Chain A
Amino acid sequence: MKRSGAQIVWECLTREGVDLVFGYPGGANLPIYDALRDYPVHHVLCRHEQGGAHMADGYARVTGKVGVSMGTSGPGATNLVTGIATAQMDSVPVVFITGQVSSKLIGYDAFQETDVTGITLPITKHNYLVTRVEDIMPSLREAFYIARSGRPGPVLVDITKDAQQAFIENWSYDDAPIGLRGYRPDLRPASARIKKAVDIIHAAKRPLILLGHGALMSNAGAEVREFAEKANVPIAMTLLGIGAVPASHPLNLGMMGMHGEAWVNNAIQEADLLLAFGMRFDDRVTGNLRTYAPNAKKIHIEIDPSEINKNVKVDVGLVGDLKDILRQINPLLGPGDRAEWLEHIADMKGDSAVRDIQNLPDSGHLYAAHVLHDLWRFTGPDTIVTTDVGQHQMWAAQYYRIDKPHKWVTSGGLGTMGFGLPSAIGAKMGSPASEVWTVVGDGGFQMTMPELCTAAQEGVKVNVAIINNGYLGMVRQWQEFFYEKNYTATPMRSPDFVKIAEANGLKGIRVTERSQVEAAIREAQESEGTVVIDFRVEQEDSVYPMVPAGADLHAMIRRPKNVLVETAEDE
């Protein structure tokens, strides 16, 4: 059959199972958009390519499928860059397809020409510049394969306009196996190494699992639980590991790292064995590497060999898929008696649960923690929560207790403000039956706020909870702690978010007291379209505990007495 390059793009996408793309048209990708009419793919018009990229990212994180995002050449492609880097840092499979100026114009600084493959080279798993129509199919097939296999990640395919417009007379889809000689996504550890790991596990008295995003990518939640329960090993989660095992699981201690709970970080420091499952010892998780878990042996299970021994030198590195490897390890595990260790951790936890804000009497003030705790109470375990980046993100991680996998969507590695709303739209479109909330700050929300109208146009219902404290809160917190409260450039005026919602044809609700929180959440749930709730929370509230950047993991700034946050003593 005769097919244009543009048609071949859609032929390939539909064969990859794509029925939804997020993008923005322009001069250099118009042929692709023109050809869309012949194919059963729904296109969501974002308001900025960054938004489209985050939508595809959110879609991919909740569905486990490859997301697709499109942009035109030049500014269209450069606007995608933040979204591409976000997906790269969090290992999210997204295929980005950009239009490029015609091949004969490349290199001549043509209108809307940028070297997009050059720009995105260090922030993609791989990328392609396609200048010939014959190369479109193989490039796209490889792109999807690379994006979803091994350690997933974003792949960009930049297609020149003339390649889109050219025809192939007798085109047919090639479904032969893909040959990539340098690409080994399917490595497996030798059984001797597994044996060595099991011996170390059996000898450990104070083991701890560090559970990361890889556990979700590998769908290894059940295997991790089996491991933990069989060997009596407690679990600490990274920010991106949240949801891999239920927050309510008795062995799940909670989140580790810069804003991890004190007992979790102290347990890491006191452990004699760290079992790193699909995580990468990011600096936000380890603090000072010199003093990190000084007495612990380390076993690292990770699909990306380059992560082994990168930040932390390990005793055993097992390269491969976490689920596969745990299925080999679990039958070899003997029952572990870790009662003493678990009791010790319980002691460290102490009355921390009691001093949690959630259990304090209502004093009339509205704290972010109240809002997030209430949001958790009034929503079900199938609710998807996406976040932006900052204080609200950490409070959400601490107080919204995720019990199911792929329900928690947050930008961890890159820490991309503006991620919350568009990722929620993508998540909702990927999982239409789910209730979707995005928790955002007043700062980050304004970065991608125009996507509200995307939600309105698409008739997509997401609920937006703005934790509005009138500051760039996390930066303000750093200024308070480390820059003598010199609040340079952090006080932020915002528009009337209720009116913003209304201007987009959506419902807006303002909440200033805790007594209004439940009713607002209920109203949002019962409303048909997207709802924006402007939670006016305490302005100078901080996230505790906090490990200052680069400090020892056990050197946490604890919640002080008698400041704005009315909590019991932290000790």
Chain B
Amino acid sequence: MLHTLVVLVENKPGVLNRVASLFRRRAYNIESLTVGHTDMPGISRMTVTVEGDQHHIERLTAYLYKLVNVIQVEDLTEKKMVSRDLALIKVNTGSEKRAEIFQMVEVFRARVVDVTNNSLIIEITGDSDKIDGFVEVLKPLGIIEMVRTGAVAMERGSESLVNEDVLVEMVPA
């Protein structure tokens, strides 16, 4: 099944390469990988969606922890979480299709962010299923180009996923 992992890493040169290289070397297929800053200085947060059974994901977690720059790994798959993906979709709009497309945009609570005589760029945010659904609807109307960010995810509720220990600099024993 598809797992959603959150990986906190030190924001050091090459860290994305280290994580990506690990997936390649241990023969895991990344469905999507996003990385960005957090509210904590020097710490970046990756959201990785990856296919595998429980054993595979446990192995992957252990290998990730082996990387010196990896601070924390959490599997959100079984937890209540919010997962969001953003897509920009450029579509063909002959005059006869335009109204239909705007209607779809309305239904999916997407936004039109660029308009020309014969094209639109639509921005949509949501979980992957919603975006997949939207794309399916638009396909027959003619997609010129599409880009998706890949999922970012967060556990619901008031707790932070971040283990406070990670904020403490480690001291050699």
Contacts and interface: CB of A to CB of B under 8 A. Distances in A.
Given A122-B25, A129-B13, A178-B172, A309 B58 contact: yes
Contact of A179 (B9, B69, B169): B169
B173 A186 contact: yes
Is chain B's interface secondary structure helix, strand, loop, or mixed overall?
Answer: mixed
A181 B167 CA distance: 7
Contacts of B21: 121-122
A309 B66 CA distance: 15
Contact of A180 (B13, B63, B68, B173): B68
Interface in A494-537: none
Nearest to A131: B13
Contacts of A180: 68, 169-170
A27 interface: no
A202 interface: no
Query: What are the 3 A-B residue pairs with the smallest beta carbon separation, nearest first?
Result: A179-B169, A306-B62, A182-B71
A195 interface: no
Interface string B50-83: 0000010011001101111111000000000000
Contacts of A129: 13-14
Interface residues of A, number: 26
A306 B172 contact: no
B13 to A, nearest CB: 7
Interface of B: 9-10, 13-14, 17-18, 21, 25, 43, 55, 58-59, 62-63, 65-71, 166-173
A129 B14 CA distance: 9
Contacts of A118: 17
Interface string A50-83: 0000000000000000000000000000000000
Interface string A288-329: 000000000000000011101110000000000000000000
Contacts of B25: 122
Contacts of A184: 65, 170
A199 to B, nearest CB: 24
A149 interface: yes
Interface in A177-202: 177-186
A428 interface: no
A182 B66 CA distance: 9
Nearest to B170: A180
A373 interface: no
Contacts of B70: 182
Interface in A135-153: 145-146, 149
A145 B172 contact: yes
A177 B172 contact: yes
B14 A177 contact: no
Given A117-B14, A122-B21, A177-B172, A182 B62 contact: no
Contacts of A305: 62, 65
B123 to A, nearest CB: 34
A182 B172 contact: no
Contacts of B66: 304, 306
Contacts of A146: 68
Given A122-B21, A122-B25, A177-B171, A182 B63 contact: no
A315 to B, nearest CB: 16
Most buried by B among A146, A306, A309, A310: A306
Given A129-B14, A149-B172, A181-B166, 9 more contacts: A121-B17, A177-B171, A177-B172, A182-B10, A182-B69, A306-B65, A306-B66, A309-B55, A310-B62
Most buried by B among A121, A125, A149: A121
A512 B14 CA distance: 56
